[in-house]
Amino acid sequence: MRNEGSSFIDSFRRYQQFDNWFLAFNPLSKLNILFVLGFSSMLINDWRYGFTLSILLCVLAFAVNRGVKFLKPFSVIVLIFGFFTLVIRQFSVEGTTVLFTLFGILPVTEEALVNGLNTASYLLGFSGAVILFFVTTEMRDLMYVLEQKGMSHEVSYIVLASFQTIIDLRKNAELIMESQKARGIETEGSVMNRIRAFFPILGPLVLGAISGTEEKSIAMDARAFSVKCKHTFLRELRPAPAWEKILTAAADICFVLLVVYKLVLR
Amino acid sequence: MTAVELKNVNYKYPLADEYALRDVSFRFVEGRFYGLIGENGGGKTTLCNLIRGLVPHFYHGELEGEARVFGMDIKEHNAEELAVRIGYVFQNPFNQMSGIKSTVFEEVAMGLENLGVEKEEIIRKVEEVCHFLGIEELMEKNPNELSGGQRQRVAFASIIVMDNEMLVIDEPTSQLDPQGTENVFEIIRNLKEAGKTIILVEHKIDMIAEYCDEIIVMKEGKIVCSGETQDILSRMELLKYDAQIPEAAIWGHEMAAEGMPLSRIPITTEQAVQYAVERRQTDGN
Amino acid sequence: MAIEFKDVSFAYPNGYVANEHLDLVIRDGETLAIVGQNGAGKTTAVKLMNGLNKPTCGDVLVDGINTRERSCAQLSRTVGYVFQNPDDQIFNSTALAEIEYMPRYLKLSEEEITRRCGRAVELTGIGGYLKMNPLDIPYAIRKFVAIAAIIAIEPKYLILDEPTAGQDKRGNETLERMIRELSREGTGVIAITHDMDFVTRNFPRVVAMAHKNIIADGTAREIFWDSKTVGEARIKKPQIAQIAEGLKLPGDILFCGELTEAMRQEKRSI
């Protein structure tokens, strides 16, 4: 047959290939492990654990070639959560051990600092785990495994299509903005100008999105979207290998033990 | 064999005051290529919607008379299955992309995935269709980043791959340039040769004249005339119905009025040239 | 007074060059069609006329004013531009409100608003749709609502992007009447279109574009009977011209009457 040699088409005949083991990791197992790690930092609530975890997540991100993608949102979180928690805790937690006095008037206490560090570290550990998941997992792969587990393909479609919708909306907004500028509505400059330009831009954007939906649903029905039967998946992921399952189970067991330990300790 | 049979069909959209279809009776025969022309708002798209079962299954409203598709009353058809058996391509190429696939190959394959067709079979069919439409070079591209003309070809591929016995095509070229239009009509010609029943709504009358077997003219929800393309498009009275006729036919009538009638009224460039050459020969003798 | 392009090139911020070395003068009240394949740079070029695009090199002057020195919104009083898709423009809840929006935005007197809207409605023939919500108006008519909203600004130059797309016979007739009327009153009309019969009937001047450049600028007759331009711009000759070519008739024929006349001449000469 023609095109037998095309590596692109052949890629659908095999399980999907990924650059490294972590990217290939079954999305649900990955989600499971990372969430357990994230929650563990919340439960332990100790800055030594939280920061170690954050650094490990960071190292892992770089090891699997997603370092830059990971650092972009993560550094924002570090700045916002990390910094503000430390500052706010100085005001909300009363401490007696004054370490030093800032600007000669604001006392920085050890209790408040530790408390702040603990909170900041668990927030970082948790968000780091979530971010790492999303920068190492393609949404369509997550939807694929969820559909395998019985989630309806309607839900999967809505989730996946909404990403494209956001891209389309941005493109549309630019076009509408141009169209309104071309008729004489100032969209730049003073705040008043921008406020007056709000409806002329938002209106067509929303209406366009709504009127497109009906056509799209008709188009999708013509492609058997609503026909009830078992679907084929052109793109397939390999089933999770034993070591992945064991790793996931181990993580879950550790987490359960941790919960029990925390409960008993109370 | 009859593909679609309509008898005295009246239809009103929900909340509408006026009928969108009035006393429409027509028999669509399998394997024929029908051109649906006439004024905007004349009922062309509603007729397409009826044939595809969108009326009454999707739009509801009041449907009177008899409409049979593939021998079965339209109301008794399973709407989901009918939507697939009759392929549909329309004007806006953007709304025909699923938006969830990252390559054209996967986009085209989506319909077959939804039907649960076996994987090797999907790959074979998608390759075949991409070859048929000459879009092999697009297969690995992202469908959401293509030009309008390219997307329209992908939209055709995504429908044709499902091997429908009948296709309804509603103004597929109104957003395309002449090259894109030619490409689309080439596709439709190939489909006709493959024996499909085709119903096409189109304003480009020179293209209709060249490709269609039969013409249906609609105005104010009624079929005002219908018949063989050659016969219908050569009639000046079409202009009365706010439908267009090819420039070649207008010229043919003018020649007759000026006392130099051609052997018959041409509707395409080739015919016009041929009849005029014949006229020259008789004049020369 | 005129729109002047002086060796204008334009590149998008991502580096894609869409126009190269355009030189063009559109005089006051001139009616002109721009033809060529999609991707030839037609839309980019007209966006340079109203300041939506500012030239990367060279200058565009509108009535002597460099477009770099004005915002697009300011230029829009002089150069009106109707986008291809009316849904990118329309946002008011009735067609009338849509047409009145700009005159009100410009704080014109109530009388002036009524006069302008009346004229815009008459030219576009949408009198029967004024109270309707634009969403309930058929797409082809919606295009006329969008055109009317720009005409109400009374620009000196009016740019139409693909006005015939999706129009039926009556829509085309309305468009043609509107263009005739506007140009009689001295408004310059510039249209981008793929419909060559529409071009032949309405536009004394045609600019053909291909691969980012203007490749020909002349009358419809000159453009359509220059096979090099027709090939390069990938445009389609009007049917009557195709027939005349097939019959090898002289005189660069474009219209029905001319073709009949040529046949008569030929008959006489036999």
Distances (CA, A) of A123 to A56, A72, A130, B244, C15: 15, 16, 11, 69, 41
Question: What is chain A's mean pLDDT, rounded?
Answer: 89
**Confidence class for position B202, pLDDT limits 50, 70, 90:** very high
Record: contact A182-C80, CB cut-off 8 A:
yes
C28 Cβ contact partners less than 8 Å away, ≥ 6 residues apart: C1, C2, C156, C186, C188
Predicted confidence at residue C170, as pLDDT, reads: 93
With tokens 């279809």, the residue in question is B21
Give CA torsion, residues A190, A196, A201, A206, to 10 deg: 130
Which one is predicted more confidently, A94 or C114? C114
Predicted confidence at residue A187, as pLDDT, reads: 83
Q: Inform me whether the pLDDT recorded for B166 exceeds 60.
A: yes
Per residue in A103-138, pLDDT (tens digit) is 777 778 888 888 888 888 889 999 999 999 999 999
Per residue in A16-27, pLDDT (tens digit) is 999 899 999 999
Question: What is chain C's mean pLDDT, rounded?
Answer: 94
Q: Which two tokens stand for residue B52?
A: 């595809």
Distance CA A204, CA B220 (A): 30
Specify the pTM: 0.89
Tell me the range of A206-215, B90-99, C184-193 where mean pLDDT is highest.
C184-193
Predicted confidence at residue A5, as pLDDT, reads: 57
**Confidence class for position B180, pLDDT limits 50, 70, 90:** confident
Q: Which two tokens stand for residue A170?
A: 């941005």
Do A145 and A26 touch, CB atoms closer than 8 A? Answer: yes
Considering only CB atoms, which chain A residues are within 8 Å of B118?
232
- CA-wise closest residue to C229 among C247, C249, C209: C209
Distance CA C264, CA C244 (A): 13
Predicted confidence at residue A266, as pLDDT, reads: 64
Predicted confidence at residue C199, as pLDDT, reads: 95
Predicted confidence at residue A112, as pLDDT, reads: 85
Record: contact C89-A211, CB cut-off 8 A:
no
**Confidence class for position B167, pLDDT limits 50, 70, 90:** very high
With tokens 């002449």, the residue in question is B178
Q: Inform me whether the pLDDT recorded for C255 exceeds 90.
A: yes
Looking at residue B43, what DSSP letter applies? Answer: S
Record: contact A161-B100, CB cut-off 8 A:
yes
Calculate mean pLDDT across residues B176-180: 85
Closest chain A C-alpha to B123 CA, distance in angstroms: 8
Q: Is B62 helix (H, G, I), strand (E, B) or coil?
A: strand
Considering only CB atoms, which chain A residues are within 8 Å of C87?
204, 207-208, 211
* Buried/exposed C61-80: b ≥16 CB within 10 Å, e otherwise: bbeeeebeebbbbebbebbb
Record: contact B40-C243, CB cut-off 8 A:
no
Q: Inform me whether the pLDDT recorded for B135 exceeds 50.
A: yes
Closest chain B C-alpha to A75 CA, distance in angstroms: 30
Interface B-C, measured as beta-carbon pairs within 8 A, has a size of 97
Calculate mean pLDDT across residues C157-180: 95
Considering only CB atoms, which chain B residues are within 8 Å of C266?
280
Distance CA B216, CA C246 (A): 30
Does the beta carbon of A171 lie under 8 angstroms from any beta carbon of chain B? Answer: no
Do B84 and B111 touch, CB atoms closer than 8 A? Answer: yes
Distance CA C148, CA C99 (A): 6
Predicted confidence at residue C253, as pLDDT, reads: 94
Record: contact C38-B177, CB cut-off 8 A:
yes
Q: Inform me whether the pLDDT recorded for B181 exceeds 70.
A: yes
Closest chain A C-alpha to B208 CA, distance in angstroms: 24
Q: Inform me whether the pLDDT recorded for A168 exceeds 80.
A: yes
The beta-carbon neighbor of A182 closest among C76, C87, C106 is C76
Per residue in B245-273, pLDDT (tens digit) is 999 999 999 999 999 999 999 999 999 99
Considering only CB atoms, which chain B residues are within 8 Å of C14?
none
Q: Inform me whether the pLDDT recorded for A2 exceeds 60.
A: no
Looking at residue B136, what DSSP letter applies? Answer: G
Any long-range contacts for C246-250 (C-beta under 8 Å, 24+ apart)?
C246/B269, C246/B270, C246/B272, C246/B273, C247/B273, C247/B276, C247/B277
Interface A-B, measured as beta-carbon pairs within 8 A, has a size of 114
Any long-range contacts for C4-8 (C-beta under 8 Å, 24+ apart)?
C4/C59, C4/C60, C4/C61, C5/C45, C5/C48, C5/C58, C5/C60, C6/C58, C6/C59, C6/C60, C6/C61, C7/C57, C7/C58, C8/C48, C8/C55, C8/C57, C8/C58, C8/C59, C8/C60
Record: contact B95-A3, CB cut-off 8 A:
no
Beta strand ranges found along chain C (DSSP E): 2-11, 17-27, 31-35, 57-62, 65-66, 79-82, 157-161, 188-192, 205-210, 213-218
Tell me the range of A75-89, A93-107, C37-51 where mean pLDDT is highest.
C37-51
Record: contact A232-B159, CB cut-off 8 A:
no
Q: Is B94 helix (H, G, I), strand (E, B) or coil?
A: helix
Q: Which residues does B contribute to its contact with A (CB < 8 Å)?
A: 54, 58, 79-81, 83-84, 87-88, 90, 92, 94-96, 98-100, 102-103, 105-106, 109-120, 122-124, 127, 131, 139-140, 144, 155, 158-159, 162
Record: contact B113-A221, CB cut-off 8 A:
no
Considering only CB atoms, which chain B residues are within 8 Å of A164?
99-100, 144
CA angle C39, C45, C51 (to 5 degrees): 135
Per residue in C208-241, pLDDT (tens digit) is 999 999 999 999 999 999 999 999 999 989 999 9
Looking at residue A82, what DSSP letter applies? Answer: I
Q: Inform me whether the pLDDT recorded for C270 exceeds 80.
A: no
Record: contact B269-C171, CB cut-off 8 A:
no
Give CA torsion, residues A50, A51, A53, A54, to 10 deg: 120
Closest chain A C-alpha to B86 CA, distance in angstroms: 8
Per residue in A219-265, pLDDT (tens digit) is 999 999 988 889 999 999 999 899 999 999 999 999 999 999 988 87
Instruction: Name the residue of chain C whose CA is nearest to B39's CA.
Output: C168
The ipTM estimated for the assembled molecules is 0.89
- CA-wise closest residue to C144 among C88, C86, C97: C86
Do B219 and B242 touch, CB atoms closer than 8 A? Answer: yes
Which one is predicted more confidently, A266 or A238? A238
Q: Inform me whether the pLDDT recorded for A1 exceeds 50.
A: no
- Distance from the Cα of residue A250 to its chain's centroid: 24
- CA-wise closest residue to A124 among A70, A62, A87: A70
Looking only at Cα atoms, what is the longest distance across chain C? Answer: 69
Calculate mean pLDDT across residues B216-239: 95
Does the beta carbon of A140 lie under 8 angstroms from any beta carbon of chain B? Answer: yes
Looking at residue A13, what DSSP letter applies? Answer: T
Considering only CB atoms, which chain A residues are within 8 Å of C77?
184
Per residue in B32-52, pLDDT (tens digit) is 999 999 999 899 999 999 999
Q: Inform me whether the pLDDT recorded for C254 exceeds 80.
A: yes
Instruction: Name the residue of chain B whose CA is nearest to C136's CA.
Output: B16
Question: What is chain B's mean pLDDT, rounded?
Answer: 93
Calculate mean pLDDT across residues B66-80: 91
